[in-house]
Amino acid sequence: MKPAPFTLHRPRTLAAALELLAELGPDAKVLAGGQSLVPVLNMRLAAPAHLVDITALPDLDRVESSGAGVTVGALATHRAVEHDAGAHEHQPLLRQALTHVAHPAIRNRGTVVGSLAHADPNGEMPMILALTEGHVRAVSSRGEREIPAAELFVGPLETCLEPDEILVSATFGAARAGARTGFDELARRSGDYALAGVGMVLATDGDGAAETITGLSAGFVSVTDLPERLVLDEHVAGTPTAEAREVAEAVAAAVREHIDPIDDIHATADYRRHLAGVIARRTFTRLARTNDRPRI
Ligand code: FAD
């Protein structure tokens, strides 16, 4: 199918883009990589009268990393972030999850920030923002605001953004010293949206045989309506990493009990609950066994 007719605007400055959005109101949509919006237009699930293409705006493709977090500009593609050594060093979950986002061709054009604005519960990036307790920066002609992940996502495919706002960047929290991170997902075919995915952060203290688990948090993809950070400390804290297997089933049971999975044509809620428990148990035991940092 082809999209309904629209007027394409391609401003060259952020100020001009914001002015356009303020003037056009809810009849306009921001266009970034187009990897979600264009299919939506082609299927006529949306028919905005105006598209404001932000790809000509300067300085929005930066990726900046430090101990405070990884800040990704609105035009940084999935692939740019996946291959950014600083981003990987400071928050390995980004690369670990991004290799599961669609196919390289889509990652070459789609943006991380666009994924957040799209707010798809099947998308990896909203969950990683929530799990790392990150935030986004939104600007409009009325001003600027910082929105924590916990407030950004208000429903499936729905954020708290106003129609005149542009997300200029997202900041993912940095991994803490001693934390191990892992990501896993189950999909019918490589590159498909997940049936269930998990991101995990395992905190430890001490070395060798004396190493102990101090905390565990997890987030899920394609399982819950809203991305969230599930804290599982009470099931694991104080357990020596060498004995992690003994509490792994408690972790899986806590996950199954806590989540309220979505039911759709791809999988039933019960099946997703089962899968979420399986990948949570597997990822936890793998992280306890090894520092799951892929090589740069
Ligand atoms: P666009 O498509 O341009 O925009 C998406 C939405 O966000 C629109 O509503 C737009 O108005 C809004 N938007 C974009 N940028 C901004 C901004 N800076 N400020 C305000 N609003 C903005 N994604 C996954 O996470 N996992 C997958 O496995 C996956 N598989 C895919 C498979 C296929 C075949 C395809 C076509 C896509 C897949 N995607 C997947 C989606 C892909 O990741 C998209 O690139 C991403 O979701 C959106 O980024 P974009 O830059 O393309 O945004």
Whether 193 is in the pocket of ligand 1, judged by its Cβ within 6 Å, is yes
* 79 compared with 192, residue with greater pLDDT: 79
At 63-78, the pLDDT tens digits run: 999 999 999 999 999 9
Give the list of residues 6+ apart from residue 4 with CB closer than 8 angstroms, or none: 41, 44, 47
At 227-246, the pLDDT tens digits run: 999 999 999 999 999 999 99
pLDDT above 90 (res 210): no
Please report the pLDDT score of residue 291 as a whole number. 58
Distance 110 CA to ligand 1 centre (A): 6
pLDDT above 50 (res 294): no
The reported pTM is 0.95
CA distance 124 to 240: 30
At 100-126, the pLDDT tens digits run: 999 999 999 999 999 999 999 999 999
Distance 287 CA to ligand 1 centre (A): 30
Whether 32 is in the pocket of ligand 1, judged by its Cβ within 6 Å, is yes
Domains and CATH numbers, the chain: 1-175 (3.30.465.10), 179-289 (3.30.390.50)
Q: What are the beta bridge partners of residue 170? A: 72, 136
Report yes or no for ipTM above 0.95: yes
Whether 169 is in the pocket of ligand 1, judged by its Cβ within 6 Å, is no
Whether 35 is in the pocket of ligand 1, judged by its Cβ within 6 Å, is yes
User: Which atom of ligand 1 is closest in space to residue 46's alpha carbon?
Assistant: 9
Which structure tokens are listed for 33?
A: 């990589």
Taking the CB of residue 28, how many other CB atoms lie within 10 A of it? 21
Please provide the DSSP assignment of the chain as one string. --PPP-EEE--SSHHHHHHHHHHHGGGEEEESS-TTHHHHHHTTS---SEEEE-TT-TT---EEEETTEEEEETT-BHHHHHT-HHHHHH-THHHHHHTTSS-HHHHHH-BHHHHHHHT-TT-HHHHHHHHTT-EEEEEETTEEEEEEHHHHEEETTEES--TT-EEEEEEEPPPPTTEEEEEEEE-SSTTSPPSEEEEEEEEEES-GGG-EEEEEEEEEESSSSS---EE-HHHHTT-BGGGTHHHHHHHHHHHHHH------SS--HHHHHHHHHHHHHHHHHHHHHS------
User: Which atom of ligand 1 is closest in space to residue 192's alpha carbon?
Assistant: 28
Q: pLDDT-based confidence at 8, cuts 50/70/90?
A: very high
Whether 166 is in the pocket of ligand 1, judged by its Cβ within 6 Å, is yes
Whether 164 is in the pocket of ligand 1, judged by its Cβ within 6 Å, is no
CA distance 141 to 19: 6
Whether 84 is in the pocket of ligand 1, judged by its Cβ within 6 Å, is no
* 247 compared with 264, residue with greater pLDDT: 247
pLDDT above 80 (res 293): no
User: Which atom of ligand 1 is closest in space to residue 117's alpha carbon?
Assistant: 7
Distance 246 CA to ligand 1 centre (A): 40
pLDDT above 90 (res 290): no
pLDDT above 60 (res 296): no
